[in-house]
């Protein structure tokens, strides 16, 4: 029962969406496990094959003290075989860094990450601009070019999924911070336009942003109430604030890679958590069921694995928990180590007597 409580606590299958309107300025605060949905698919023009032309502007303020990788904005799409989903474009916070992540153009190869070192240091508000086109991706902070990747870009089919703000589409670590503005343009903004837009956002001149719409969208977050965030120009659908939080694409027994610091901490917790389970179960089968050493060890590992499997499968339906193959393997290892400790303890006790 203790293992079950630890694995499924707090048993909240329908958690509240942790977002709040900022009281003194335009924007939304995300308090962890909060999210805002965009339309699915994102109705951006230009369906021609080849690299997609897109510019994204995100005005944000991340909280300090992060110890993990937390998506802030993500856009997913189907893989080339159309059988599963993958995150094609992500803006995230990693420790005190901002990260722009995406995949190579027209490819299912592993993603590429561009790091903006200490961009979230001291919880400062930052204005991030990302342009993606035939010449790759350019990243700007406060209107100044800081990173360039000639190979990173969005492919033509990268808009088949849903836009998500405040959380990743696959249940990664929750993000805490403020989003103060968001805009999309179906073309590559020039360096001059990026600088002009930064000044327009900073000086609260939305009319300057709407002039450069060209079919794009500008979300000012100036509603201050309700569950809809409107495009300034009215060209694109509203963003929606759901009342309940849910994982958009829940995974089943997925292996986290690359491993994060939190995964290493979870490894130790999951092994130590199942040590007493394996120890006591082996003691029961040896003492009361009169099993031999090998059978008691095998039963402890199998029962520990089945208990862990049941917990991990139930966690698929818990939006604030991840169904992890790594956790399952660590639980089985913990059960086995606990069983071996009991057998070792019994052998020493008998030798001492």
Task: Write out the residue range of the structural domain in which residue 31 sits.
Answer: 18-240
Q: Report whether 283 contacts 342 (CB < 8 A).
A: yes
Output the domain CATH number for residue 32. Answer: 2.60.120.200
The neighbour count for residue 262, using CB atoms within 10 Å, is 14
CA torsion 312-267-13-95 (nearest 10°) is -140
Dist CA 150 CA 106 (whole Å) = 14
Burial of 161 (0-12, 13-18, 19+ CB in 10 A): buried
pLDDT tens for 224-239 read 999 999 998 887 889 9
For residue 38, pLDDT beyond 80: yes
- 5 is a domain residue: no
With a CB cutoff of 8 Å and minimum separation 6, the contacts of 91 are 56, 58, 71, 72, 73, 74, 98, 99, 100, 101, 128, 130
Residue 10 falls inside a structural domain: no
pLDDT band, residue 60 (cuts 50/70/90): very high
Q: Are residues 303 and 155 in the same domain?
A: no
Which residue in this structure is represented by tokens 């903004």?
189
Are the C-beta atoms of residues 198 and 178 closer than 8 Å to each other?
no
Q: What is the tens place of the pLDDT at every residue in 117-146? A: 999 988 889 999 999 888 889 999 999 999
Structural domains in the chain (count): 2
Look over the chain and give the mean of its residue pLDDT values, rounded to a whole number.
85
Strand partners, 185: 55
pLDDT at 106 over 70: no
Does residue 117 share a domain with residue 212? yes
pLDDT of residue 15: 93
Phi, psi (degrees; rounded to nearest 5) at 307: -65, -45
Q: Please give the pLDDT value at position 282.
A: 93
Within 10 angstroms of residue 97's Cβ, the number of other Cβ atoms is: 18
> SS3 of 232, please?
coil
151 phi, psi to nearest 5 deg = -105, -20
Residues 281 and 234 in one domain: no
What was the pLDDT predicted at 49? 52
Residue at 9 is within a domain: no
In this prediction, residues 81-108 reach a mean pLDDT of 77
**What is the token pair recorded at 21?**
């309107």
pLDDT of residue 351: 64
Measured over the CA atoms of residue 110, residue 128, residue 246 and residue 65, the dihedral's sign is: positive
Q: Are residues 278 and 129 in the same domain?
A: no
pLDDT exceeds 80 at position 220: yes
Q: Which band of pLDDT confidence, cut at 50, 70 and 90, is reported for residue 20? A: very high
Greater confidence (80 vs 250) lies with 250
Residue 6 is assigned to a structural domain of this protein:
no
Residue 109: is its pLDDT beyond 90? no
């Amino acid at each position: 029962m203790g293992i079950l409580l630890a694995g499924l606590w707090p048993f909240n299958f329908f958690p509240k969406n942790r977002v709040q309107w900022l009281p003194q300025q335009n924007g939304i605060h995300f308090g962890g496990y909060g999210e805002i949905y965009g339309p699915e698919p994102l109705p951006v023009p230009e369906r021609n094959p080849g690299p997609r032309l897109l510019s994204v502007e995100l005005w944000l303020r991340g909280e300090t003290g992060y110890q993990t990788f937390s998506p802030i904005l993500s856009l997913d799409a189907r893989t080339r075989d159309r059988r599963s989903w993958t995150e094609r474009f992500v803006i995230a916070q990693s420790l005190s860094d901002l990260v722009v992540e995406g995949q190579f153009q027209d490819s299912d190869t592993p993603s590429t990450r561009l790091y903006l070192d200490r961009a979230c240091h001291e919880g400062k508000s930052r204005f991030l601009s990302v342009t993606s086109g035939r010449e790759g991706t350019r990243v700007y902070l406060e209107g100044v070019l800081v990173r360039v990747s000639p190979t990173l870009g969005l492919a033509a089919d990268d808009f088949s999924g849903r836009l998500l703000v405040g959380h990743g589409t696959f249940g990664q670590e929750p993000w805490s911070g403020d989003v103060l503005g968001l805009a999309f343009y179906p073309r590559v903004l020039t360096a001059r336009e990026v600088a002009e837009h930064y000044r327009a956002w900073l000086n609260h001149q939305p009319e300057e942003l709407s002039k450069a719409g060209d079919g794009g969208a500008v979300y000012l977050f100036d509603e201050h109430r309700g569950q809809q965030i409107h495009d300034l120009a009215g060209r694109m659908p509203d963003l929606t604030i759901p009342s309940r939080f849910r994982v958009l694409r829940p995974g089943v027994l997925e292996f986290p890679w690359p491993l994060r610091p939190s995964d290493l901490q979870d490894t130790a917790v999951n092994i130590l958590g199942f040590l007493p389970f394996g120890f006591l179960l082996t003691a029961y089968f040896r003492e009361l069921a009169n099993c031999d050493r090998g059978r008691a060890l095998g039963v402890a590992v199998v029962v520990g694995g089945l208990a862990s499997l049941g917990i991990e499968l139930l966690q698929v339906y818990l939006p604030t928990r991840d169904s992890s193959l790594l956790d399952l393997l660590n639980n089985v290892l913990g059960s086995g180590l606990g069983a071996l400790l009991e057998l070792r303890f019994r052998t020493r006790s008998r030798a001492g007597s």
